[in-house]
Amino acid sequence: QVQLVESGGGLAQAGGSLRLSCAASGLTFKNYAMGWFRQVPGKEREFVSAVTRFGSGTYYKDSVKGRFTISRDNAENTVYLQMNSLKPEDTAVYYCAARFGIPPNTANTDYWGQGTQVTVSS
């Protein structure tokens, strides 16, 4: 019943922007910290960003700090990832994640989205 559905992925040029959305259903959204992870072929899934339950705490992988912004709208049961100044190395499948109470990590996540492809060309 729990569903995390990403949207907003696609193609972008280096230096461009994309805004990912993840709409959650089947859970009490405000009880879950949310996050974004990404994975490229042949590599492990890696943490990108996370946000606490009410949006007051945010966390970022060092390489995306200053470029990506995570936010959430609990009234809409949606978490966002605004990605600016995109680089080819940002190319990956991006996954939305939910964890009850505290931010998700690769080993401790309650729910995953299906993933959405982000491709950044040079």
pLDDT digits over 25-74, tens only?
999 999 999 999 999 999 999 999 999 999 999 999 999 999 999 999 99
Strand positions, DSSP E, 26-110: 32-39, 46-51, 58-60, 68-73, 78-83, 92-100
> 102 φ, ψ to 5°?
-125, 160
Residue 12 confidence (pLDDT): 98
CA-based torsion, 94, 105, 73, 81: positive or negative? negative
| Residue percentage of the chain with pLDDT more than 90 | 100
In terms of C-beta density within 10 A (0-12 exposed, 13-18 middle, 19 or more buried), how is residue 61 classed? middle
The residue to which tokens 């109470």 are assigned: 101
119 pLDDT band, cuts 50/70/90, is: very high
The residue to which tokens 């890696």 are assigned: 46
